[in-house]
Amino acid sequence: HPARNGVIDDVQNSFRHSPAFSLLVTLQFTAESYKEQFLKDIQPVAEYCKASEPDTLSYEVLLSDKDPLQVLVLERYKDKDVAYAQVHKSSRPFLEFRPKLQAMAEAGND
Protein backbone atom coordinates (compact mmCIF):
# COMPACT_ATOMS: atom_id res chain seq x y z
CA HIS A 1 0.00 0.00 0.00
CA PRO A 2 1.75 3.24 -1.14
CA ALA A 3 0.45 5.53 1.61
CA ARG A 4 1.46 3.08 4.29
CA ASN A 5 4.98 2.80 2.85
CA GLY A 6 5.19 6.58 2.73
CA VAL A 7 4.41 6.78 6.44
CA ILE A 8 6.94 4.07 7.24
CA ASP A 9 9.57 5.84 5.13
CA ASP A 10 8.82 9.12 6.91
CA VAL A 11 9.18 7.48 10.32
CA GLN A 12 12.42 5.74 9.34
CA ASN A 13 13.83 8.97 7.92
CA SER A 14 12.94 10.89 11.08
CA PHE A 15 14.87 8.34 13.16
CA ARG A 16 17.90 8.56 10.89
CA HIS A 17 18.03 12.33 10.67
CA SER A 18 17.03 13.42 14.15
CA PRO A 19 18.05 10.91 16.79
CA ALA A 20 16.10 11.91 19.87
CA PHE A 21 17.62 11.18 23.26
CA SER A 22 15.39 9.44 25.80
CA LEU A 23 15.71 8.62 29.46
CA LEU A 24 13.50 6.46 31.63
CA VAL A 25 14.36 6.98 35.28
CA THR A 26 12.86 4.59 37.84
CA LEU A 27 12.76 5.72 41.46
CA GLN A 28 11.80 3.43 44.32
CA PHE A 29 10.92 5.23 47.53
CA THR A 30 10.99 3.78 51.05
CA ALA A 31 7.99 5.76 52.30
CA GLU A 32 5.00 7.62 50.90
CA SER A 33 6.23 10.88 52.46
CA TYR A 34 9.47 10.73 50.44
CA LYS A 35 7.57 10.05 47.24
CA GLU A 36 5.26 13.00 47.93
CA GLN A 37 8.26 15.27 48.60
CA PHE A 38 9.85 14.15 45.33
CA LEU A 39 6.63 14.89 43.42
CA LYS A 40 6.50 18.35 44.98
CA ASP A 41 10.19 19.02 44.19
CA ILE A 42 10.06 17.86 40.57
CA GLN A 43 6.90 19.80 39.66
CA PRO A 44 8.72 23.09 38.88
CA VAL A 45 11.15 21.20 36.63
CA ALA A 46 8.33 19.56 34.68
CA GLU A 47 6.44 22.84 34.34
CA TYR A 48 9.56 24.66 33.18
CA CYS A 49 10.33 21.99 30.57
CA LYS A 50 6.87 22.29 29.06
CA ALA A 51 6.89 26.10 29.07
CA SER A 52 10.49 26.96 28.24
CA GLU A 53 12.33 24.06 26.61
CA PRO A 54 10.97 23.57 23.09
CA ASP A 55 13.53 20.83 22.36
CA THR A 56 12.36 18.82 25.34
CA LEU A 57 9.91 16.65 23.46
CA SER A 58 8.41 14.98 26.52
CA TYR A 59 8.89 15.22 30.27
CA GLU A 60 6.47 13.06 32.18
CA VAL A 61 6.30 11.96 35.79
CA LEU A 62 4.49 8.64 35.95
CA LEU A 63 3.10 6.81 38.97
CA SER A 64 3.22 3.03 38.99
CA ASP A 65 -0.13 1.26 39.09
CA LYS A 66 1.53 -1.78 40.71
CA ASP A 67 3.80 -0.22 43.32
CA PRO A 68 2.61 2.84 45.25
CA LEU A 69 6.20 3.79 46.12
CA GLN A 70 7.54 3.72 42.56
CA VAL A 71 7.78 6.74 40.27
CA LEU A 72 9.05 6.80 36.71
CA VAL A 73 10.28 9.89 34.89
CA LEU A 74 10.14 9.66 31.11
CA GLU A 75 12.27 12.29 29.39
CA ARG A 76 12.69 12.75 25.64
CA TYR A 77 14.86 15.42 24.05
CA LYS A 78 15.54 16.46 20.47
CA ASP A 79 19.18 15.51 21.01
CA LYS A 80 21.56 14.61 23.82
CA ASP A 81 24.31 17.18 23.37
CA VAL A 82 22.30 20.39 23.20
CA ALA A 83 18.68 19.89 24.31
CA TYR A 84 19.56 17.61 27.22
CA ALA A 85 23.14 18.32 28.25
CA GLN A 86 23.32 22.05 27.60
CA VAL A 87 19.77 23.40 27.86
CA HIS A 88 17.90 21.14 30.26
CA LYS A 89 20.73 20.35 32.68
CA SER A 90 21.63 24.05 33.01
CA SER A 91 18.10 25.34 33.64
CA ARG A 92 17.47 27.05 36.96
CA PRO A 93 14.67 24.62 38.02
CA PHE A 94 16.86 21.59 37.27
CA LEU A 95 19.84 23.06 39.13
CA GLU A 96 17.60 23.74 42.14
CA PHE A 97 16.05 20.26 42.00
CA ARG A 98 19.23 18.20 41.56
CA PRO A 99 20.69 18.75 45.08
CA LYS A 100 17.32 17.84 46.64
CA LEU A 101 17.29 14.55 44.75
CA GLN A 102 20.93 13.85 45.66
CA ALA A 103 20.26 14.53 49.35
CA MET A 104 17.27 12.20 49.26
CA ALA A 105 19.36 9.45 47.62
CA GLU A 106 22.23 9.89 50.10
CA ALA A 107 19.78 9.61 52.99
CA GLY A 108 18.45 6.36 51.49
CA ASN A 109 14.99 7.74 50.89
CA ASP A 110 14.66 6.90 47.23
In tens, the pLDDT along 13-37 reads 555 556 799 999 999 999 999 999 9
In tens, the pLDDT along 37-50 reads 999 999 999 999 99
CA dihedral 26, 82, 21, 6 (to 10 degrees): 150
Separation of alpha carbons 32 and 67, rounded Å: 11
